[in-house]
Structures are given as structure tokens and as C-alpha cells.
Structure 1
Amino acid sequence: MGRHRGSRLLPLHPSPPRPPPRLFLLPPDSEHRLSLEVCEYFGLHSRLFSDESADFMRHIYRKSGLGEETYAPPYFFQPDQRARFEYAIVEANQGIFSSVESLLAKTSVPPERISAVVAACSMFSPAPSLSSRLVNRFRGFPADVKTFNLSGMGCSAGTVSIDLASRLLRTMPGSYVLIVVTEATGLSWYYGDNRHMLVTNCIFRVGSAAALLTNDPTARHVAKFELKKTLRTHHGADDAAYNSAIQADDGVGGIGVALTKDLVRVAGTSLRAHISTLAPRVLPISELLRYAWRVAQSAVRLEWKASAAQVPDFTAAFEHICIHSGGKAIIDAVSRVMGFDERVVEPARMCLHRFGNTSSSLVFYELSYFEAKGRVRAGDRLWMLAFGTGFKACSVVLCALRDANMGSDCPWKKCIHRYPVKVGRIDAIRK
């Protein structure tokens, strides 16, 4: 209830032959839809924001790239609108339980076949853990099931979870790993006056995804994607990168997540370092040679600049790219650094517009956009890229094993005919 939820079956195998994946997403409910009008109504009537903070959030919201159909957590619609543990539990349960229930039902994989569970949620880490709540809710997991919980990973948790699952499967032949990624903001909504922290109120929305990864060869006939590569790089040794997105005290007793002015610059710098490691692993030799030639020419002319001209063409390696859709400024920065045109960043902008920043699940909703548009064909290569607090970058490379089409429960099903839309200010869209 009140959130959009996702589930996928992705394949994973340490060495060829690798088995396949499958995608299922539950459509969102409408009762917790958060338009600007609804946001202002509940926000202003809570009397928890100063007039200055309310005006600032209104300004950020209108230029954020979010549309009128994103979803807020259940507690936002409560009369007191105060952060309560019970609200966070309800929000987490709604996302992870419904996603896993759909995934297990449609893949016909019983809990007893699952060898490990990876649950990721950055801002909420209850005891017992989220993975333990899943084991308790879905009876039948084996007694020796391995459970893992990731917290504080930010928006990279979805891709990081896939990387972790791949490493687990290397020691567990013929096994399944369940990953569940969500965000519970019920204890993290910020009511102070720190503008870096107020930004998070404007762009973060609810979202969950679940996936099964397997190295069982008998599962290949139901899988959609083959996992080819993962790459994680960490840039936290740099203080600016470490502090660019950080949970902190605002100095007057309020706790929030501050997105600093360095975030966009840090994302660009970290991306360059990340792709310098990724490029030799995924790019064709022809593109690597062209890139080396461009670099040599720039060096001879003493015209080296940190621009897209000095970045390899990653569209030569991938038919589809799911870039981090954490915010309009981040999408713009990635597009500028990588030299992507609007066609490449279209899914990221549309995902932000339709669902907002859903944190760890955002790349899954982008992938479902490609499928809803009928763009994924057998043999297509796909790159997922996500950033996380710390500061980290994580890539996942997939190959489609078959044509992918929009399922009956795709969250884009009732609105895909309207996309892509022209993204502008909210008040401009209303006209």
C-alpha cells in the first residue's frame, strides 16, 4: 500500500555458462501519491516548517525534475507527521514484503531454495534486521540461510547488493541469493532550517525492488539477463567526497542528510576515476584505440581538458544505460562528463519525473522503463551506474538473454504512453 514496488530475477554465475534473470514489478497504488499540491497541504498544515523553509522547499521542488505522480511514505499523511519508529516499520514492511511475495510467487522459487538473503536500506536499520524480518515473514528458508544487511550505502545499495550476491555465489554452486533494496524515510524527514538537509525532503520518494540471482543452470529458461561484470570504486579518502552527502546534526538538535554544494563536482570527479577502471573491461578495442588517439592528439596540442572529448564513448559498449537518477543536477553532470545526448539520459530523467529519487531501487525502475518501451532485445548490453554516500560508485553490466516486454504488473503500464515528457518547472507543466 502506498508505495511502488519492484521485483526481478537476475542471473549470476562466477564463470560461464551463466544462467539468466526475469523481471516483475508491482504497479504503484494511488492513495499516497504526492503532487506539489498535496505536498504543500500536508507540509504546511503540519506547522513544523518555518515560512522561509517552506518557500525554499517549494522552490527546489518546482525545479527538481520531479512530476506530480511520485509517492510519499505513509507517515507523511498522518495528522502529527512526526517521525515515529512504527511508521518506519510500516514503510519498510510494505516495500520488502510485497516485493518478495510477488517475486517468489511468479518465479516459483520456494524459500527453501534460497541460500542467502541480502537486504539493503540506508537510513533505517532496525533490530531484528530487515533480512531477519524476511526470514520470519516467509517461512521455509533453510536453517543455514546466510543473511546480510547493508546500511548507509545511499543510492548505490542496489548495485552493491548485486555485487555482493555475485561474490557469495562463487562459493555456493547451484544456489539462489535473494536481494531486497528499499528506503524507509519514516525516521529521516527533516524539519529544521538547514537548506542542505531540506533538499532531501524535496527529491527522495519511496521505492523497493527485489531480485533473485542464481548460478543454477536449470534456471536459464526463466532468466532475462546474464550478469557479466560488476565494479565498485570508493573515493572516501577525499574529505570533500566523504562529506558531500552525509547524515549529521544541524547544530540545533535536528538530524538530517545534507547534500552539499560539492556533491555534483564530486560525482563528476568520482565518475571519471570509476570509468577509467571500467573502460578497459567493457569497451571494444576499436573504441579504446580511438580514445587513445584523441588523448595523444590533445597531449601534442597541449589542449587537455576535463571534458567529454577525453572520455571514451561508452555507447559503443552498451545499447542501454541506466545512469544514477538521484537528481536533475546529477543527471546533468553525468551527461556532461560522459558526453551523452538526451536520448541516452532520457530513462533517467523520466524515472526521476515519475518516481522521484527512490534511492537504491532507482536503477531497477530505469530498467523497467526500457522494457516498457520495448527497447530491450536479445543480446543487448546494459550498464547500471549508481553513486552512494561515502563516496562510492558501482557499476553492473548485464546482457539480455531474450526480448523483454512490459509485464502486466509493470509500474509504467498505465503511464508509459505519456513518456517521454518534457521536464520543466512544475508550475510550467500545469499550464
Structure 2
Amino acid sequence: MGSEVSTTDMDLKDSSSAVIKNRTILIFTFFVPLLLFLIAVQFQLIHLKLDLLSQLCSNSNHRAIIISSIVLLFLFGLYSVKQRSPPIYLVDFTCYKPEKEQKTPVKLFLEKLEVSGLFKEESLKFQQRISSTSGLGDETYLPKGLMTEPPNICMKEARLEAEAVMFGALDTLFAKTGINPTEIDFLIVNCGLFNPTPSITAMIVNQYKLRDDIRSYNLASMGCSAGVISVDLAKHLLKANPNSYAVVLSTENLTLNWYLGNDRSMLLSNCIFRMGGAAILLSNKSSDKTRSKYKLVHTVRTHKGADDKSYNCIQQREDENGKVGISLRKELTAVAGDALKSNITTLGLLVLPISEQLMTLLLFVRSKLLKDSRVKPYTPDFKLAIDHFCIHAGGRAILDELQKTLQLTEWHMELSRRTLYRFGNTSSSSLWYELAYAEADGRVAKGDRVWQIALGSGFKCNSAIWKAMRHVSVVGDWEGNPWA
């Protein structure tokens, strides 16, 4: 009992020291520059004549410069304080690779649709056309319940799918990292459309006999962007609880959400979504620094749900015959591009070089404060700050739109396009299949920055920036990498 009290006191002292340190940094990086700036302004006011002062205040260019200086000082102070936050390490991650007999070539997929007798002729032709242009190859996977004739869509098969993905990814993660499941302090699972009772987190707790005081979180109905939301939640939990482990499990369940009707907007999901999942181990323990792959640098979340078009572009609903499915509207591509632009406006101030930040800020001041309609929107060059782009493999049209918006090369898009081709849209876990591809290809060197861009219903765009702690190589250690 005595040792527990002593440890708690030490943690409190460390926490107090961190608070004092952050406050000191805040004073010197924000208030001191601001104070010096105000003193300089006051000095000028004393020595300048009244008519010169009047001219200065009436001049819009000088006013813009003053406003820009204040904004830059504030951002610099905020950035410096955030940089002193306790580090969050990504120790390792694994992606689930289904069994070989679950591979579903496009031709076999279309044959099963025809044999099922559930779809009209025009619906079969539509799915054939979408399958040929979706960007998916012949080695994606479907759960066993959907491989039978007719499809066996029931709760039992859905549970079997969830268990295969989750336990397969977690077994490999625990074996690879060497941690005991009882060491986990936080468990976060995101699965958009499968919400059984007991919950998915309860299934994992029962399987691995986790501790009674495990704090578990089950994120549902948050779409393909929920993986980054889970990481963001884990970040906040770990910052508030020193010396802890958090496990994030990202997946989706297809069995109970296969659409059996003939509404074209709902048939799209049958053609692009496939089976997959990923498990991630996060830590704030200093002892894990040397063995970890990445350090979490930033998370930025953008929610466009207040806009009706964004809110309605992806919806689970019933068709005219009462069959439930996921409706994907034609506005989806434009909505995704708009959400990305909002997200990178915030992210750019955190990661871009000062030259790009100044250009963005100056053009903003010119267009907004000075009302200059001739100013065209400026897209910063994120390639100056980011080495690898993991963009959610939602479909070929989405990837084309984001490539255009971010002005990326085919080399930068290879992670996403190859993942879409090989594994299909695996929802929130697709980002981890993409990062696994970068590792398998030997692309990730020490110090490299990885940007994970997640898009999902709501509509949401979420970003996570990781920094490689070392050169990441899978040579001789393919365990948990689906590209083996």
C-alpha cells in the first residue's frame, strides 16, 4: 500500500512539473513576443506625429501586416507549447489477411450475383460495369457467409467474420510485440455497421481475459474515417494516463450489411467493400521509444455534418422494397474534396514550412481583409512536409479527386491505389494496409513523415501525422504484414 501511495505522489509531482514547464513555455513563446510587439507599437505611437498615425491606421496594407504579425506570433506560441506534449508511440501494428479460399476474383463475384437470383438484369449489368472500373483486382476477400449460394446472411456468420478478423489481427499483434493482453489499459474498437450484444469490445475482453479495470470504448456508425478518430481518442487517454498501453482495433463487417435489392446507389457498396481489419498498439512509456516504429505528431478532425449535402451523401436506409443498404450519392466525390480542403487548412499551419504558411496567410489576408477578388485559392505543396500519403482507399473516383486536390504524383498515390486493387475498400482499416505497403516496399526511413487521410460518412475528414522513429524494414519479419 505504501509503495502505491509513493508512486502516485511521484506521478503528481511529475504532472505538476509538466504543467509549470508548459506554462513557462507559453509565457516565453507567446506573451513575451506579444509584449515586445506592443512595446514597439507604443514607442512608435509616441514618436510619430498624429497625422502620420492617422495615415497608418487608414492604410489597409499596414493594417493587414499588423494583423498578420499578431496571428503568426500566436500560432508560433501555440505550436511551441504543443510540441512539448508527452510523446505517443506506435509500437507496431498488424493487418488481417483472410484465408486463400476467401479470395473473390471479379468474375467469380459477378457469377455469384447472377446465381443468387436476387438481382434484376439491369442491376447485374450495373454491378458488372462498376466492378470493371472500381479499381479492385482479382484477389480481394469476402467473408464465408457471402461465399455460399445463396448468401448466408445471419448473426452467427457475422460474429464468425468479426472474430476471424479481430482475433486474427490481435493474435499476431500480441505475438509480434511480446506484450501480454492483461497489460492493456485502454481498448478502442471501431466498427461502423455491426453492433451486437454483448459488444465487440466485450467479445475481445472475453477472448483474451482482459483485466477487470480495462477501459473499453466501442465506436459505432462513424464510417470509414473512424480509425483516425480511434487514434485521436487513444491519444487523449494516454496523455492523461502516464505509463499506459492502448490497443486500437479498426474493422468493418460485411455479412449483415450486404445489400440484396436493386437500388443503384446502394449496389455500389457491394462492388467496392471487402473484408479486412487492423490492430494497433500505442504506448506512452519511455521504455518503448527505442522499439517503436512511429511517433504520433498531429491529429486533425473535420466534421461537415452541419451541411445537408455532406450529411446526406452517405446514408444507411431502406429502398422502396424495404431492403436496407448503404446509399452512396453522386455528390460524394465533391463532398470529399470539400472536406479535405477544410481539414488541410488546419493541418497546413501545423506541418507546412514557414514559406508555405506565409504564402497561404498572405493570400488569405489579401482575399478576405482587402476584398481582392482576383486572388485565386492557393493549394499548399504538402510534399514539402510529408513523405508518404496514406489516403483512404474508398474508390478510384475518390482517389482521383484527392490526387488532383493535393497535386500528388502517381508514386505518392501508389500506396492507396495498390491497396484498393489488392484488398478493396476495407473501410477504416485501409490506412493500415497502405502503411504496411510502404513498409513492405522499403520506403519508410528514419524521420519520414506519414500522413493518413481518412474520409467517412457524416461527412468527416480526419488526419493523423506520424514520424518514423527508425528505418522500418520488414525483411525477415513479415509477421502481420499482409503484403508478404
Q: TM-score, normalised by structure 1?
A: 0.88
Counterpart in 2 of 1:116? 186
Shift of residue 16, structure 1, vs aligned partner: 3.6
Gaps of 5+ in 2: 1-82
Q: How much identity, in percent, do the aligned residues show?
A: 40
Cα distance in 1 for partners of 2:215, 2:99 equals: 33
Q: 2:469 aligned with 1:398, yes or no? A: no
Asked whether the 8 Å contact 1:88–1:186 carries over to 2, the reply is: yes
**Residues 1:290 and 1:71: Cα distance change in structure 2 (over 3 Å):** same
Give the alignment partner of residue 101 of structure 1, picking from 149, 152, 171.
171
Is the partner of 1:335 in helix, strand or coil? helix
Tell me which residue corresponds to 1:150: 219
User: Aligned pair in 2 of structure 1 residues 403, 28: CA closer, same or farther (>3 Å)?
Assistant: farther
- 1:283 is displaced (CA, Å) by 1.0
Q: What residue is the counterpart of 1:250 in the other structure?
A: 319
SS of alignment partner, residue 258 of structure 1: strand
Residues 25 and 189 (structure 1 numbering): CA distance in 2 closer, same or farther, change over 3 Å? closer
Aligned partners of 1:46 and 1:17: how far apart in 2? 52
Q: Quick one: which of 265, 290, 296 aligns to 1:227?
A: 296
Q: 2:251 aligns with which of 160, 182, 206?
A: 182
CA distance in 2, matches of 1:302, 1:244: 31
Q: CA RMSD in A?
A: 1.9
Aligned to 2:228, the other structure's residue is in SS state helix
Shift of 1:305: 4.5
Distance 1:121 1:344 in 2: 28
Aligned residue among 338, 342, 345 for 1:273 = 342
Deviations 1:285-333 (A, max 9, x none): 1221244456678899844445xxx111111111111112101111111
Deviations 1:334-353 (A, max 9, x none): 11122222222121111111
Whether the aligned pair in 2 keeps the contact of 1:321 and 1:383 (CA below 8 Å) is yes
Distance 2:379 2:361 in 1: 10
AA aligned opposite 2:438 = F
Structure 2 match to 1:336: 404
Identify which of 263, 278, 281 aligns with 1:212: 281
1:28 and 1:411 in contact (8 A); partners too:
no
CA–CA distance in 2 between the matches of 1:374 and 1:98?
25
Matches within 5 A, 1:266-415: 266-292=335-361, 302-305=373-376, 310-406=378-474, 407-409=477-479, 410-413=481-484
Structure number with larger C-alpha Rg? 2
Amino acid at match of 2:163: N
| Larger helix proportion of the pair | 2
How far does the alpha carbon of each residue in 1:182-208 deviate from its partner, in whole angstroms, 9 at most, with x for none?
111111111111100000000000110
C-alpha separation in 2, matches of 1:154 and 1:405: 31
Structure 1 partner of 2:117: 47
Amino acid aligned to 1:324:
H
Give the distance between the partners of 1:19 and 1:234, measured in 2 at CA: 26
Structure 2 SS opposite 1:325: coil
Q: CA deviation at 1:384?
A: 0.5
Deviations 1:127-173 (A, max 9, x none): 1001000000002x221111110111111111111001111112211
- 1:18 & 1:364 partners in 2: Cα distance? 17
Partners of 1:117 and 1:365 lie apart in 2 by 21
Q: Tell which has more relative contact order, 1 or 2 (C-alpha 8 A, sep 6+).
A: 1
The one-character-per-residue Cα deviations of 1:80-139 (angstroms, maximum 9, x if unpaired) are 214211111111010001111111111111122111111111010001001000000002
Tell me the SS of whatever aligns to 2:465.
strand
Which stretch shows the higher mean deviation, 321-330 or 196-205?
321-330
Query: Residues 245, 311 of structure 1: CA spacing in aligned structure 2 closer, same or farther, 3 A cutoff?
Result: same
CA spacing shift, 1:283–1:179, aligned 2, 3 Å: same
